[in-house]
Each structure stands twice: as structure tokens, then as C-alpha cells.
Amino acid sequence: MAAIAACMFCAADAFSMAGRPEPVALRAQAPLAFSPPLPLLTAKSLRSTSPLQVNGWAARGRGVRRGREQMSLVPSGMAGALTRVTSTPDALFQTIFLGLAAVAALANLAVRDFKEVGKKEEEKPEGVKNLQIRFLIVFWLLRMADWLQGPYFYEVYASKIIGGSPVSLDLVSKLFLIGFGTTGLLGAYVGKLVDSKGRRAGTLAFTILYTIGALSTKSSLLWVLILGRLAGGVGTSLLFSAPESWLVGEHNKKGYDGKWLGQTFGWAYAGDSLVAISAGQLAGAAAAARGPAGPFEISVVFLAAGALLAATTWKENVAPKRGDESSGPTIGDAWRVMLKDKKILLVGIVQALFEGAMYIFVLQWPPSLIAVVSNGQVPFGKVFSCFMASCLIGSTLFGALSKKGVEVETRLPCSLEG
């Protein structure tokens, strides 16, 4: 993904020169530099010139013009295509996205095991099918609402005027930190609360809190923006705990085979990649119609749809009680287990470093592109779709290499360092 991002930044940097006419004109005239100039014909020179010479010059002039036309056919065609592709940032990044989407589709076809397609699978219980449908529709609606708020996160806050001055990158960073800091501090407690009070209730609470966060972007009052980020931070904790916990609870309560649970999660996150790619395109269209707050407004529609389906098709479930609730594991117990097992500690450190690097990139790529694209007109939605398509390519290749027995965990970091 880092390589793809670097390529896109280079493409954006070259955009300001790609649309200029000078290089195209110079390429079209270059072959003519080798043609000797025609003599300057005046009235006096014509009287002293034979008709044969004049005819020769005329034929030579026609030949030069014909040569110009023939030699400029291919370069001008290529130049025209390049000009169309890079005529606007929107066209440039849409072209990059289409190329990445084609690569992702081909990669999925290349790694697919067609021998398994024709094999007869074990008949799936009707209850499992029903559970998968009820979960996946709600899950994808909620994930779409979340992804829609990603592409224009920086732009929606940077476009605000607070205290008579535009919002700085420093303030956007602090708003970003408020949301994800809330998630980090309260995530464990929110998860425990969801298990005891109800997973469906937690899912519905997520839709309410995320709606508050989305609607807060319509305001230019700092306290409203901070409140929205706090609500969004708690909502993020609920999104990554309540819906999936509900699925596991329902699955275990019905006593279904564990392989169906794995299949459901596989479908959920495979579809989530496509949802993320689509969210970038939809966010771009919403921003073009309604401004940088447009994607947040559209996300409210998906939140409402997800909440309606969860409220009407999901039954409440909670974590099974095991004797005295006070005797259950605590956060302190989890901390001591982590310190005791170095492998758990190292996995946590690696994950934290990766997430930290990723979120620094998430916050920095919008202003970086604004700085290099002419007039700062960056199609954030299309760029976001490019990132998500790149992630899909990476996950596809990772799965294929793992099936081939390649030790991806050790060899891939070495190849990136090289």
C-alpha cells in the first residue's frame, strides 16, 4: 500500500505539468527540425525563378506538410489520451482506481481454486442461512456508514472557520486524537458493558452515537465538534464489539457448527473490502453535491437503515453468566497475563506500532495531496477507493502466498526493507 501511495503522490505532483500544451507542441514539432527550410519567395525571386523550380518547391512543401501529418499521428494520439486522463485530478485518480480495480479482479481470479467450485458442499442448515442474512446486511450497512466518514475527515474539519480563522492541521489532529483516544481508553470497558447489557442494544447505541458524530460536522462551534468526536470514539468501540459479539452469541445459542461461523466472518470481511471501495466513490459523489459534510450526511441514512433492521430482525443476547459476576476476569487480570506471556506482549506491540503508523498516514495524506494538486481540488473519495483497492490486492496476495506455504510474516518485511 505504501508503494501505491507513493505512486499516487508522484502522479499528483506531475499533474500540474501534464495538462500544459508546451510539451505536446514541442513533441509535434520535433521531427520538423530536420527538414531544411523552404526559400523565401518574393516578387523579385519569382521573376528570376523557373516554373520547374517553383513546382518543385510546392511539391516539397506539400510533402513536408504530409510528413508532418503522418509523423504526428501517433504522438498526438498518445498525447491526446494522456491529456484526457490527466485533464483533472478527478479523471487522473479515477483512471488509477479503475486500473487497481482491474488488477484486484484479476488477482482474485488467479488465486481462485476452480477445482473446489464444482465440489458438492455440505448442506447448510436453514437457520444458519437466516442468521447469515440477518447479520451480514446489518453489518455491511454499518460498515458503509463508517467508511463514508473516512475520505473527507480532514477536509470537513479543515473547511471550518472558528474564531475568524480557518481550522489548522494542528486542531484537526487534536480532534482526530479525541476520537481515537476515547476509543482506546474506553474500548475494554465498553466491550464488557455490551456483554452484560446486550449486544443488540450496543449495536443500536452505536448508530445513535455515530449519528451524533456525523451531524456535528455541520456545525462550526468547537464544543459541538469535540462532542461529536467523543460520541464517535465511543461509537467506534461499539462497532468493533457489539455486532460481532451478537453473531457469536446467536451462533452458540443455537448450537451450530463452528465452521459456519468462520464462513460468515469470511464473507463479512470479504464484502467489507467491496463496501469500502464503494464508499469512496459514494463519498466523492456526495461531497460534489453537498460539500465535505455530504458523506457524513449520507452515512446517517445507512446508520438509520442498519438500526431499523437490527431492531426488527435481531433478538437480544448477552454473555452467559458464570457464577458470581464479580469473579470474572478483569482488565488487571488481562494485563498480568500479557506481561507473563511475551508472545502476547510482542503481538500487541507490533499491532500498536502498525496502527500508529497507519493513523499517522491517514491524517497526513489529505493535506499532502492538497499541497501538490493544482488549486487543491483533490477527489478524496476516489483516492480513498484507490487505497481500499490496494488493500484488497494485498490481502488477496497474502492469502495466496500463505496457501503456498510461503512464510509471509518473515519474508515480506525483508522484501519491503530491501
Q: Give 349-408 as a DSSP string.
A: HHHHHHHHHHHHHHHHHHHHHHHHSGGG---HHHHHHHHHHHHHHHHHHHHHHHHTT--H
Residue 251 has pLDDT above 50, yes or no: yes
48 Cα distance to chain centroid: 74
Helix or strand holding residue 166 (H, E): strand 165-166
* % of the chain at pLDDT higher than 90: 51
Across-strand partners of 166? 161
Residue 194 has pLDDT above 70, yes or no: yes
Averaged confidence pLDDT in the chain: 81
Helices 380-403/408-417 angle, 10° precision: 130
Residue 176 has pLDDT above 90, yes or no: yes
Where do we find the cell 530491501?
Answer: 418
What number is the average pLDDT over the span 20-40? 40
Q: What is the spatial distance between Cα 222 and Cα 84, in angstroms, rounded to a whole number?
A: 42
Residue 170 is placed in which grid cell? 494542528
Within 10 A of 53 (CB to CB), how many other CB atoms are there? 13
Residue 114 is placed in which grid cell? 476452480
Instruction: Compare 240 and 10 and report the one with higher pLDDT.
Output: 240
Instruction: Compare 243 and 184 and report the one with higher pLDDT.
Output: 243
Report the first-to-last Cα separation within the chain, whole angstroms.
16
Instruction: Compare 2 and 353 and report the one with higher pLDDT.
Output: 353
What number is the average pLDDT over the span 393-401? 86
pLDDT, position 369 = 92
pLDDT, position 328 = 63
Where do we find the cell 464489539?
Answer: 241
Q: What is the spatial distance between Cα 266 and Cα 317, in angstroms, rounded to a whole number?
A: 22
pLDDT, position 115 = 56
Nearest-Å Rg of the Cα atoms of the chain is 30
pTM of this structure: 0.77
Q: What is the spatial distance between Cα 179 and Cα 181, in angstroms, rounded to a whole number?
A: 6
Residue pair 155/380 in contact (Cβ under 8 Å)? The answer is yes
- Given pLDDT bands bounded at 50, 70 and 90, which one contains residue 81? low
Give counts: helices (H), strands (E), the chain.
18, 2
pLDDT, position 376 = 77
Residue 398 is placed in which grid cell? 497474502
Residue 65 is placed in which grid cell? 506538410
Query: pLDDT digit string (tens) for 347-389?
Result: 989 999 999 999 999 999 999 999 988 777 899 999 999 999 9
Least confident piece of the model among 94-103, 140-149, 407-416 = 407-416
Q: What is the spatial distance between Cα 382 and Cα 360, in angstroms, rounded to a whole number?
A: 20
pLDDT, position 7 = 53
Helix or strand holding residue 161 (H, E): strand 161-162
What number is the average pLDDT over the span 145-173? 94
Residue pair 200/316 in contact (Cβ under 8 Å)? The answer is yes
Three-state DSSP state, 111: helix
pLDDT, position 238 = 96
Query: pLDDT digit string (tens) for 278-331?
Result: 999 999 999 999 999 999 999 999 999 999 999 999 999 998 876 555 556 777
- Given pLDDT bands bounded at 50, 70 and 90, which one contains residue 31? very low
104 Cα distance to chain centroid: 14
C-alpha dihedral over 50, 52, 54, 60, to 10 degrees? -150
Residue 35 main-chain phi, psi, to 5 deg? -90, 125
Residue pair 227/211 in contact (Cβ under 8 Å)? The answer is no
pLDDT, position 400 = 84
Burial class (CB in 10 A: 0-12, 13-18, 19+), 159: middle
For CA atoms 296, 298, 302, 304, the dihedral sign is positive
pLDDT, position 406 = 78
Residue pair 24/81 in contact (Cβ under 8 Å)? The answer is no
Q: What is the spatial distance between Cα 199 and Cα 315, in angstroms, rounded to a whole number?
A: 9
Q: What is the spatial distance between Cα 229 and Cα 380, in angstroms, rounded to a whole number?
A: 21
